[in-house]
Amino acid sequence: MAWYAYSCSQCGYCVEECDQFYGRGWESQSPRGKWYWLREYLEGRAKWNQAQVDTFLVCTTCELCNLRCSAALPIEPSWMKLRGMMIEKEKRMTFPPFEMMAEALRSEGNIWAGYRKNRADWFPEDLREKHGPGRKAPALYFAGCTASYVEHDIAMAAVRLLDRAGVDFVYAGEPENCCGTPMLVAGKWELFADIVRKNIEVAKQAGADTVIASCPACDMMWRNVYPEWAKKLGIDYGIKVLHYSEVLSGQIKSGQFVFPPNDLQPVTVTWHDSCHIGRASGVYDAPRDLIRAIPNVRFVEMEHNREKAHCCGSVLSLIKDPPVAADIGKTRLEEAVEVGAEKVLALCPCCQVQLRISAKKKKVPVEVVDLARLAGNALGYDFPDPNPEVHSQWGVFDAFIALMTPQGFAGLMGTMWPQLIDAMPFGMGPMMRAMGKIPGALNAMKPMFPILFPRLLPMMMPKVMPVMLERVAAMIPMPDYMREQMPELMPKVMDSLMPHMIGDVVPLVTQPMIDYLTGKTK
């Protein structure tokens, strides 16, 4: 890493095309800026803090900088190593939403906090006997979390296409776990290793030597990352990985798969090359072959396409800085508008979530549609509209992102001062109330609060957790299944976050607490 930092010539070829630079406007967010900072750190002129940790974590892993670098430095892999070092080894704080995802994943095997028992609910009933859970086949279809719990049309359309193509495949259903991408980029590598073990075992239990994915991130894990980690973990791998578009492209070229005439309205579409299926896995032609084979569809390319395609801005920007993600998404969507596209086709469930949210926030007049859905429609299949669920789920997620910040936690604590004061150990609650009646006493204690709170809060949290859960439920309307899991998830999330955040929370809650105790507020 040090060698790479000093090898960077500071030429700046990476800067303009970095989504973190053009989304934020600060060169410190670009690869050149990060290499410069690392040199400053190595020479003792800079120190790590949470803001700098976040600067490295927020990289979307689009890998465009790897192609732009005049020195051919492995930029994205270097940032990935730093994630593991900072979070797994040095126990620094990852993005707070990842802690919620991690606990949901440990409990139910997915990042959306859906129940494992509902993972296969989307699977078409008429295909269960032929391809459903419990069977064995040479190929395993891997749906991933977002297609299983949010954008059902992606998975439903993918299995319809594979079935029509005559592919002998099976879907594992409930045993399937998240592919682990969120935990890898979050730096939670011990949990990621556990996921790798479990998913490889699922494939083996299904009798499969090939995994077919629809999600580009899942594809990237199985194709590029799992083999490396399987070797580290001493696991026999030997699994071939294909994207469903590659399967269909081969059959289209051989004449085995042909789209019949359809009654779709003629439409002009463009193609978003998801970073993880394009630059990471090198799959560019297969999706285009599929698009061009669909009758009544006119295909146009965006200015930035294939290996030069711009990132959508998900997932890391979206969960760290939603307004920045919307700006990045708008940049990508406007390319589609400029070439006259009515629809932006994509593969990645997370790209689609991000682009749909960006289109709505920024009022960009273009529709985001999954490729498998369009192809399935051309075969006469109908699928549920994913947009209501996308915006509903994102509304919950967005609210939790705002909550899991120092400002959010301070605001939450401000709704429960009576309970917090009563929960203080060692009889401090009555003492604090008494001091509130003595003019100036609590203000004199202010310098002690940064020392006291980190020690007291862990003892207070179990007592106030029921009230906190009530307040969170009132603040964030969430699905029943998520609300039911909050008593298990929230304490673990708080245990993970508060040791890192307490230093930023205390200054925000000190004066409001004094105002409450002195009777200025209720």
139 and 225 assigned to the same domain = yes
362 and 294 assigned to the same domain = yes
180 and 269 assigned to the same domain = no
Residue 94, class by beta-carbon neighbours within 10 Å (0-12 exposed, 13-18 middle, 19+ buried)? Answer: buried
Share of the chain above pLDDT 90, in %: 95
Spatial separation of the C-alpha atoms in residues 144 and 180, rounded to whole Å: 9
Spatial separation of the C-alpha atoms in residues 480 and 487, rounded to whole Å: 13
The answer to whether residues 410 and 420 touch, using CB atoms and an 8 Å cutoff, is no
Judged against a pLDDT cut of 90, whether residue 350 lies above it is answered with yes
Summarize the confidence of residues 193-199 as an average pLDDT: 98
pLDDT at residue 225 in the model: 97
Q: What is the pLDDT of residues 223-272, one digit of tens each?
A: 999 999 999 999 999 999 999 999 999 999 999 999 999 988 999 999 99
Judged against a pLDDT cut of 90, whether residue 316 lies above it is answered with no
Question: How many CA atoms, within 13 angstroms, populate the side-chain half-sphere of residue 424?
Answer: 18
Tally the domains of the chain.
4
Q: What is the pLDDT of residues 97-153, one digit of tens each?
A: 999 999 999 999 999 999 999 999 999 999 999 999 999 999 999 999 999 999 999
Q: Does 375 fall in a domain?
A: no
Residue 314 confidence class, pLDDT cut points 50, 70, 90: confident
Dihedral sign from CA coordinates of 382, 388, 391, 393: negative
Dihedral sign from CA coordinates of 92, 96, 100, 105: negative
156 and 174 assigned to the same domain = yes
Q: Does 72 fall in a domain?
A: yes
Spatial separation of the C-alpha atoms in residues 14 and 56, rounded to whole Å: 15
Q: What is the pLDDT of residues 368-379, one digit of tens each?
A: 999 999 999 999
- 297-299 sheet: strands from edge to edge: 297-299, 267-271, 343-346, 367-370
Spatial separation of the C-alpha atoms in residues 499 and 495, rounded to whole Å: 7
Give the domain CATH number at 132. Answer: 3.40.50.1860
Spatial separation of the C-alpha atoms in residues 421 and 430, rounded to whole Å: 8
Q: Would you list the DSSP string of 163-193?
A: HHTT--EEE--TT----SHHHHHHT-HHHHH
pLDDT at residue 318 in the model: 86
pLDDT at residue 284 in the model: 97
217 and 109 assigned to the same domain = yes
Three-state SS at 273: coil
Cα distances from 49 to residues 331, 334, 504, in angstroms, run 30, 36, 12
End residue of a domain, out of 43, 74, 89: 89
Judged against a pLDDT cut of 80, whether residue 522 lies above it is answered with no
Q: Would you tell me the crossing angle of helices 371-378 and 152-164 to the nearest 10 degrees?
A: 50
Q: Does 468 fall in a domain?
A: yes
Q: Does 522 fall in a domain?
A: no
Spatial separation of the C-alpha atoms in residues 106 and 309, rounded to whole Å: 34
Q: Would you list the DSSP string of 76-135?
A: HHHHHHHHIIIIIIT-----HHHHHHHHHHHHHSSTT---GGGTTTTS-GGGHHHHSTT-
247 and 286 assigned to the same domain = no
Where in the sequence is the domain holding 23, given as residue range(s)? 2-89
Does residue 315 have a cis bond before it (omega within 30 degrees)?
A: yes
- DSSP tag of 223: I
Give the domain CATH number at 318. Answer: 3.40.50
Q: Does 185 fall in a domain?
A: yes
Share of the chain above pLDDT 70, in %: 100
Judged against a pLDDT cut of 90, whether residue 317 lies above it is answered with no
107 and 176 assigned to the same domain = yes
Spatial separation of the C-alpha atoms in residues 355 and 329, rounded to whole Å: 6
Give the N- to C-terminal CA distance of the chain in Å, as an integer: 53
Judged against a pLDDT cut of 90, whether residue 215 lies above it is answered with yes
Q: Does 399 fall in a domain?
A: no
Q: What is the pLDDT of residues 399-445, one digit of tens each?
A: 999 999 999 999 999 999 999 999 999 999 999 999 999 999 999 99
The token pair at 449 is 């609060």
The answer to whether residues 435 and 517 touch, using CB atoms and an 8 Å cutoff, is yes
Summarize the confidence of residues 269-294 as an average pLDDT: 96
Spatial separation of the C-alpha atoms in residues 331 and 31, rounded to whole Å: 20
End residue of a domain, out of 223, 253, 283: 253
233 and 276 assigned to the same domain = no
141 and 227 assigned to the same domain = yes
450 and 322 assigned to the same domain = no
Query: What is the model's pTM?
Result: 0.93
26 and 144 assigned to the same domain = no
83 and 127 assigned to the same domain = no
End residue of a domain, out of 89, 119, 154: 89
Place of tokens 């955040």: 501
Q: Does 118 fall in a domain?
A: yes
Q: Does 10 fall in a domain?
A: yes
Mean pLDDT taken over the chain: 95
